[in-house]
Copies of this chain bind each other. A is one copy, B any other.
């Protein structure tokens, strides 16, 4: 038996064996570092965790009720591969048909599906900069370049954004943007969606905290997909549920690309229960937006530069403009926020809106 993976010396097999590669990975994979998610201390106790934009309040009581009623024996069966009930409910909540909706294992899954649907190796992706730091990583995985187009100093879209996007197959654009929390104007979004000759994914992970949504763009522009998540506004980061809305043509194509059973049975049930409880959602959002206002005012009084936010986090720069030092100081005091190194982002930290008690602790630590 010939084994080309075992070192042999002094015989003809050397020719074969010398071909043995240290790594069989694609070059793009070997070359990349991988994405670093925000810290997830597995012992929560003690930390004030304001670093990964989780909702500080529990999910709807309907979720607790559902968990008590689940029949464990039902877990032996495969889940509905296309999440029909969820598609119907999401469609209903957004005035769409169920064919306009696809459900993902978190909106990260949706992003991966979009990338694999629309971009081939050696093509080009564009996104604003700063923006969601996962976009360039997903591009690398797909073997494509990601051109990051710098935002203006106030984090608005530059006048000539479209010119910089020419030649790209896919534009990833979060609204509200992360980590800045700003929402690009609807006029500018329309201009970009109408003028870009490629697909546009509008990532509305934080849209429930914003004044406006681009969902209706999917009727206006055949090249627009809008995605959402239950991780933030519905307090369900743990279940992994995201969804995308688009034309029937775009959704049907993406359905071919997703894993067959990408959303597990419990997540489907929990998401249904949470989405049905719109009153709880609205109450929760109101509380978070109120705390956001209070925190912004307090930080401005402390001399911080506060970026106007339409999300459940804020992007703020301390008086000395040293984001990293502030991040480390807060960590020492048991408060986790997020720091993004870089010439622009390095002046800031991103703070998730917590409970009022957590906000008091944060302000106490900053004084």
Contacts and interface: CB of A to CB of B under 8 A. Distances in A.
Interface string A256-279: 110111111111001000000000
Size bin of chain A's contact surface? 35 or more
B238 A24 contact: no
B1 A237 contact: no
Nearest to A30: B253
A197 interface: yes
A261 B108 CA distance: 8
A1 B67 contact: no
Copies of this chain in the oligomer: 2
A108 B73 CA distance: 22
A265 B23 CA distance: 32
A11 interface: no
Query: Which of A32, A198, A223, A257 neighbours the largest number of chain B CB atoms within 10 Å of its CB?
Result: A257
Interface string A36-73: 01101010100001001011111100011001101011
A150 interface: no
A259 B112 contact: yes
B194 A5 contact: yes
A143 B120 contact: yes
B169 A24 contact: yes
Contacts of A58: 72-73, 75-76
Contact of A37 (B24, B73, B260): B260
